[in-house]
Structure 1
Amino acid sequence: MKRIKCIICNFMYHSECVRFTGDTTSARMQWKCPSCVATERKGGDNSNTPVRVEKTSKTVRTVAADSDISESERDVPVAPTYNDPNLIVSRLEHFLDAKLQSIKCEIIEELKTTIFTELKNEITSLSSQFSQLQTSYSQLQLENDHLKSDVCALLERISVSEDQVSELRAQFNRQQQQARMNNLEIVGLPQTSSESPVDLVLSIAEYAGVELNRGDVDFAHRVQPQKVIAGRPKPIVVKLADRLSKDKILSGLKNKKGICTRDIGIGGTEKKFFVNEHLTPENKQLLKSTKNLAKEKAYKFVWVRNCNIFLRKNEESPALHIRFEKDLAKIK
């Protein structure tokens, strides 16, 4: 079934229902539905005007209840709005589309307004928070700069303090070592219940070829070592009246290539022991580090003279005086 479209309301009608017989393009482009024609003639929309229906034996004619309608207007054919289901459905579809389109536009506008308002509020809130963060960051950066300055000052003070402490420790160590200049330390000599340390010292001096009297020995006794090793006897610390006697004993034992228990009249299994200068704990540790370095770097000679530690690469190289641990770091 063919359809025709009103050029005013854009509604679609069945050609037969509105009695459209023209089939040319120009006729279709100029066609107006009966409702729009009636509206144009009256100068307004009478779609809400109540109507009455007059029945005859052959036809049904719709007449407007308004008494002002002219005879020519009554003769205009009216679309059978209530009798054609297809037309009713078409009008309902158009009405619903228009309503839905209107509702859609309203919803979109409302959503846009709501979203824009919320976005504006959120942006304002974020801007405020960002400003607060910037202020906090500036304060933290300022505090950080102050802390950095304080840390640098503290590090400098700590460095100075460490240097002062190192110097004080070095001075204390020198004083302690100076007080031990006349001392000998006997290590590895077996201990007996009836021994006399002074007599042992006199026997050692005699073996070294040094004439020594009891009055030349200020004291001689065994001391507890810092690190106790099971089976190792306590060392004997000896303080002589003068440094010359100490040096003579060390020199004599060096010429004898060492000493053992049999050399001083101690029976039983022969055991070698050592007579050294009495070093402070710091100098003992330094001597140990020096020996380890000498082994690692292939240095041939490490020795102690007058409580000073020396190192030499070989017979032709100069002797190096080792005073502190940092001196070892310079050795290649």
Structure 2
Amino acid sequence: MSSGGLVWGCCGLPTADDYIQCKKCMKAFHLACLTSSSGSSDLVVPPWICPACTNQLPKGGNGDEIPVGFSPNVTTRPTKRQALESPPGSGPDLASKEDLRCVVQEVVQREIEGLAAKISGSLRLVLNSELKTVSAEIKDMKDSMNFMNTKFEEMLRDQNEAKVIIADLKAENASLTSTVKDLSARLNSIEQNARSKNVEIQCVPEKKNENVIEIVTKISKVINCNVSSENIASCTRIAKLNPGHPRPRSIVAQFSTIQTRDKFMAAVINYNKQRPLHDKLNSANLDIDGPKTPIYVVDHLSPANKALHAAARTAAKQKGYKHVWVRSGRIYMRKSDDSNFILVKDMDTIKNLV
């Protein structure tokens, strides 16, 4: 009988609870039926062969026959598991749970190995592709670094050459500066020596059709020097440095000899010493109409010495020097009446004043 797809070899009741199948004929037997017939439930442990199939097994003979004393209903395990690729039911016994576990492990291991091989191949391809790109970029970077290194070495070489050139230029500039300074001093000395016979008369009021030689001779009479026109080689007014300044142009008188010039300067100094501050040499002494203005007679300085004299007077005010004067084209300074005088040779002398 069959019930639910099963072929029954016992009572045939259509119940599928607690049954076992014969591994030969595949018929189903209720455990209750087998127990009642044999009196023991130990004989119905799978894999199991029903009594009918057991009776059909050959007895004795060659190695394929059942050994003597073999009980078909005694549970035994096969010595060798069914091959993984063999068809179902082709093995000597049905697969046990351990066999199934081994089969599953082999399948899973084989799948994992195959997947690992695929992943490894894919990774190898991806890595090779990426490594080619990275290798190309590294090569480009290396080329760029080599190029930059070459340029850097060229810059260092150019910089070293520039340092040598700059050092040479500094030395040459220092030499030229010293030479220019020496030449400027010589030129200034020559210009000042050319003015050794000259005096500069400042702040004399200007008039049209004036005779500057007569003005000089009149001054000489006032200071008791008695210089005649024959002792004056030339006499003229000079241009102002600042044309917009209201101060009159100075008169430069060149005497025939240095002695005459020194005599004229000494007479002016003596005249001013003998007079009070408000009555020193002035325009009223020359009978010049207009307001009474002081008249100054000084050495005719070269342009460089004029600038040096102006700087010395400014420094004297700033640093408390009492006297600044010019004698024979040279500039002197004195901090107090009892201190030593200082000869102002150049701007460095003014810068080093204390």
TM-score (norm 1): 0.69
Output the CA distance in 2 between the equivalents of 1:106 and 1:304: 104
Q: 2:189 maps to what in 1?
A: 174
Q: Is the 8 A contact 1:188 1:232 kept in 2?
A: yes
How far apart, CA to CA, are the structure 2 residues paired with 1:298 and 1:273?
26
Aligned partners of 1:209 and 1:249 also within 8 Å? no
Moved more, 119-128 or 207-216: 119-128
Q: Which whole-Å CA distance do the structure 1 matches of 2:234 and 2:257 have between them?
A: 12
Q: Tell me the residue number matched to 1:240.
A: 255
Residues 71 and 302 of structure 1: is their aligned pair in 2 closer, same or farther, counting only changes over 3 Å? closer
Matched, 1:211 2:188: no
Which residue identity does 2:129 align to in structure 1? T
Q: Distance in 2 between matches of 1:100 and 1:238?
A: 119
| Length, aligned pairs only | 260
Tell me if structure 2 keeps the 8 A contact 1:202–1:214: yes
Match of 1:150, SS state, is helix
How far off is 1:130 after superposition? 1.8
* Match among 160, 175, 182 for residue 145 of structure 1: 160
Percent sequence identity is: 20
User: Which residue pairs with 1:86 in the alignment?
Assistant: none
Partner of 1:35: none
Paired position in structure 2 for 1:316: 338
1:128, distance to aligned residue in structure 2 (A): 2.7
One-letter code aligned to 1:111: V
Q: What is the rounded CA distance, in whole Å, between the counterparts of 2:314 and 2:303 in structure 1? A: 17
User: Could you say which residue in structure 2 is the equivalent of 1:331?
Assistant: 353
Instruction: Give 2:282's match in structure 1, choosing from 260, 265, 268.
Output: 260
- What residue is the counterpart of 1:282 in the other structure? 304
How far is 1:309 from its partner? 0.5
Q: Which has the larger displacement, 218-227 or 191-200?
A: 218-227
The CA deviation at 1:44 is 5.6
Deviations 1:282-317 (A, max 9, x none): 000000111111111111111000011011111221
Residue range with higher mean Cα deviation, 286-295 or 226-235: 226-235
Distance 1:72 1:209, change over 3 A: same
The answer for the alignment partner of 1:25 in structure 2 is none
How do residues 35-50 of structure 1 correspond to structure 2 at under 5 angstroms? 41=82, 43=83, 45=85
Q: Give the TM-score normalised by the residue count of structure 2.
A: 0.65
Structure 1 residue 149: deviation in Å? 0.5
Compute the displacement of 1:164 (Å). 0.5
- Taking the aligned partners of 1:250 and 1:200, their CA distance within structure 2 comes to 15
Name the amino acid aligned to 1:287.
H
What aligned pairs does 1:1-332 form with structure 2 within 5 A after superposition?
41=82, 43=83, 45=85, 107-257=122-272, 258-332=280-354
Change (3 A) 1:324 1:71: closer
Any gaps of 5 or more consecutive residues in structure 2? Answer: 1-80, 96-110, 273-279
Q: 1:186 deviation in Å?
A: 1.6
Q: 1:254 to 1:218 in 2, by over 3 A?
A: same
Change (3 A) 1:115 1:144: same
Deviations, residues 109-141 of structure 1 (Å, cap 9, x unaligned): 333222222222222322232223222222221
Deviates more, 1:178-187 or 1:108-117: 108-117
How far apart are the structure 2 equivalents of 1:206 and 1:192? 20
RMSD: 3.2
Q: Residues 70 and 152 (structure 1 numbering): CA distance in 2 closer, same or farther, change over 3 Å?
A: closer
Q: Comparing 271-280 with 283-292, which one deviates more in the overlay?
A: 271-280
CA distance in 1, matches of 2:325, 2:337: 14
Supply the distance in 2 between the matched residues of 1:137 and 1:200 (Cα, whole angstroms): 77
- 8 Å CA contact 1:259–1:274 kept in 2: the answer is yes
Tell me the SS of whatever aligns to 1:293: helix
Secondary structure (helix, strand or coil) at the match of 2:190 reads helix
Query: 1:327 is aligned with what amino acid?
Result: T
**Aligned-partner residue type, residue 315 of structure 1:** D
Q: Which shifted more, 162-171 or 220-229?
A: 220-229
